[in-house]
Chains A and B, each alone.
Chain A
Amino acid sequence: MTEPATIVKCLVWDLDNTLWRGTLLEDGEVTLPAPVEKLIAELDSRGILQSVASKNDHDQAWERLEALGVAEYFLLPRIGWGPKSDAVREIAAELGFALGTIAFIDDQPAERAEVRFHLPEVRTYSPEQLPGLAALPEFSPPTVTVDAGRRRQMYRAGFQRKSAEAEFTGPSEDFLRSLGLVMRIQRATEEELSRVEELTLRTSQMNATGVHYSIAALRTLLADPRHEVLVTTLTDRFGPHGAVGLQLLEKHGRVWHLKLLATSCRVVSFGAGSVILGWLVGEASRAGVHLIADFRRTERNRMMEIAYRLAGFTGEACECRAGLAPPREPGVERLHLLPEPHDPPPTMELHAPRLAQGPPDGSP
């Protein structure tokens, strides 16, 4: 079988005689082998999340993980006396991951069997496999991006955000303002291209054209003065969301052509797509040009169509359309907008470059 291995998104560790040497409640003292510590850091840098399912006294075990300096690596630890299959199931559910992307490592064959019996999709490993674990294909994601190394932080921030939202009573807009959202729109650099590609691969839901741009194609466009490749990042008081948006814009004399707008589905609820569009409309207004946006309806990008339409894009005729080459992909609609000055977004702080080269000369 040459099926590529499904990448493990979260590895769940047993503690006694798996992560550390010794049994905490019997021996009192346990040690963390250097290769295991290295492995934990290595998996983390690859964007693989890690958690704990251990039958132990919760406070003592967690204190020990902190003393060993590795506690920060583990999200959603389940340390107690319940069945490990329950622990693994809860961890997967809270992360929103399919069980087929979860791995479980434990020195007790009975524990591995218990997890496999209830959750047959979960892959189980024994500590004897630790030395070769990092080399296994399922622990080797094909591309490791800037954001992969921060995935743990982004998930941890996500949990804090969720509990803050659950505690907040009031209009959702007030909640958004309480998050202290800061959006940065920047011209893409070589370094950011890897984040951009991950974005176009991972965000089919909010890709306005369904067209995938490769790194190579985007790199050529970086050097082209007529094109703007823009990357959007978002942070809030809980931490970074990472790269959440990509725009590809071609500037003609009288019209700017938005060829691609992709946003991460993680930030739909923050209205990120509308904020990006609003900024672009304001810039186009300043430059005195019309805006045309490509849109191709897919099963999953409905929210993008709504964002375009509510921003004021329509199917109306305009002579500026004649200046553009016909769409290369079938089924692409060209939505048009006559830009007007745009207020800054009410829900977040926005830092973005000036795209307009000079003040509009007054002619339409």
Chain B
Amino acid sequence: MSAEQAITAEGIEREIAGFVAGRVNAEVPADQDLFASGLVSSMFAMELVVHLEQAFAVQILGDDLKRDNFRTVRAMTALVLRLRDAEQPADD
């Protein structure tokens, strides 16, 4: 994925949805609760954390690691956007 793509919310959402779909062998709507539907275990959630950090060059620390932030593709997208903004404050 190129850097330009990563900056838009749409690009981030597409990348995350692709990663999740690849792992659960199914298309996953952006607002589907992954934990409630049993698609994502604690273990897969760990892999998600590591994947988001590597794919989008962010660090997810402390209270940001709560389950709600990983519940849906949309929630993860929002988390990544927020962390990216926080890391490059005035540099746009």
A172, B23: Cβ atoms under 8 Å?
yes
| A274-B65 Cα distance, complex, nearest whole Å | 14
B44 partner residues in chain A, CB cutoff 8 A? 172-173
Does B42 sit at the interface, judged by CB under 8 A?
Answer: yes
Contact A271 B24 (CB under 8 A): no
* CB < 8 Å neighbour of A346 from B41, B45, B49: B41
Indicate if B62 sits at the interface (CB-CB under 8 A). Answer: yes
Which residue in chain B gives the minimum CB-CB distance to A173?
B41
Residues of B within 8 A of A212 (CB): none
Report whether B23 and A309 are in contact in the complex, using a CB–CB cutoff of 8 Å: no
Most buried by B among A271, A312, A346, A347: A271
Q: Is A271 within 8 A of B41, CB to CB? A: yes
Q: What's the dominant secondary structure at chain B's contact region?
A: helix
Determine whether A360 belongs to the interface, using a CB cutoff of 8 Å to chain B. Answer: no
In the complex, identify which listed stretch (A101-109, A183-191, A300-308) lies at the interface while the others stay far away. A300-308
Is B37 an interface residue, CB under 8 A from the partner? no
Please tell me if the beta carbons of A307 and B63 are within 8 angstroms of each other in the complex: no
Indicate whether A170 reaches chain B with its CB closer than 8 angstroms. Answer: yes
A314 at the interface (CB under 8 A from B): yes
Q: Which residues of A contact B24 (CB under 8 A)?
A: 171
Are the CB atoms of B65 and A309 closer together than 8 Å?
Answer: yes
A314 to B45 alpha-carbon distance, docked (Å):
17
A-B contact count (CB 8 A): 52
Q: Are A310 and B62 in contact (CB under 8 A)?
A: no
From A170, A309, A314, A347, give the contact of B43 (CB < 8 A). A347
Q: Choose from A171, A176, A307, A312 the contact partner of B46 (Cβ within 8 Å).
A: A307
Partner pick for A306 among B23, B63, B65, CB 8 A cutoff: B65
- Complex Cα gap A93–B91 (Å): 45
Alpha-carbon gap, A311 to B46, bound state (A)? 11
Q: Nearest B residue to A170 by beta-carbon distance? A: B25
The interface residues of chain B lying within 8 Å CB-to-CB of A170 are 25
Q: Does A315 touch B at the CB level, under 8 Å? A: yes
CB-CB under 8 A from A172, the residues of chain B are: 23, 43-44
Residues of A within 8 A of B (CB-CB), count: 21
How far in angstroms is the closest Cβ of chain B from A300? 14
Measured CB to CB, the closest approach of chain A to B43, in angstroms, equals: 3
What residue of chain A has the Cβ atom nearest to residue B62's Cβ?
Answer: A315
Q: Is the CB of B42 within 8 A of A314?
A: no
Count of chain B residues near A, Cβ 8 A: 17
Report yes or no: A173 in contact with B65, Cβ–Cβ below 8 A. Answer: no
Cβ-closest chain B residue relative to A347: B41
Residues 21-49 of A, flagged 1 when their CB comes within 8 A of B and 0 if not, give 00000000000000000000000000000
Q: A272 vs B65: C-alpha distance in the bound complex, in angstroms? A: 19
Alpha-carbon separation in the docked complex, A307 to B42 (Å)? 8
- Whether the Cβ atoms of A305 and B67 lie closer than 8 Å is no
Q: A171-B24, A171-B25, A172-B23 are in contact. Are A311 and B65 (CB under 8 A)?
A: no
Docked complex Cα distance between A274 and B62 (Å)? 17
Cβ–Cβ < 8 Å partners of B46 in chain A: 271, 274, 303, 306-307, 310
Q: Given the complex of chains A and B, what is the CA–CA distance between A346 and B70 in angstroms?
A: 19
B40 shortest CB reach to chain A, Å: 9
Closest to B44 in A: A173
A278 to B45, CA, bound (A): 14
Contact, CB under 8 Å: A311 / B43:
no
Q: What CA separation (Å) do A213 and B23 show in the bound complex?
A: 39
A282 to B63, CA, bound (A): 22
Residues of A within 8 Å of B66, CB to CB, are: 309-310, 312, 314
Closest to A346 in B: B41
Cα distance A168–B40 in the bound complex, in angstroms: 19
A-B contact pairs, 30 of them (CB 8 A): A170-B25, A171-B23, A171-B25, A172-B23, A172-B44, A173-B41, A270-B43, A271-B42, A271-B46, A274-B41, A274-B42, A274-B43, A303-B46, A306-B45, A306-B65, A307-B46, A309-B62, A309-B63, A309-B65, A309-B66, A310-B45, A310-B49, A310-B65, A310-B70, A312-B67, A314-B63, A315-B62, A346-B41, A347-B41, A347-B43
Closest 6 CB pairs of A and B: A271-B43, A309-B65, A274-B42, A310-B45, A306-B46, A306-B49
Known A-B contacts: A172-B23, A271-B43, A274-B46. Give 5 more (CB < 8 A).
A271-B46, A307-B42, A309-B63, A310-B70, A315-B62
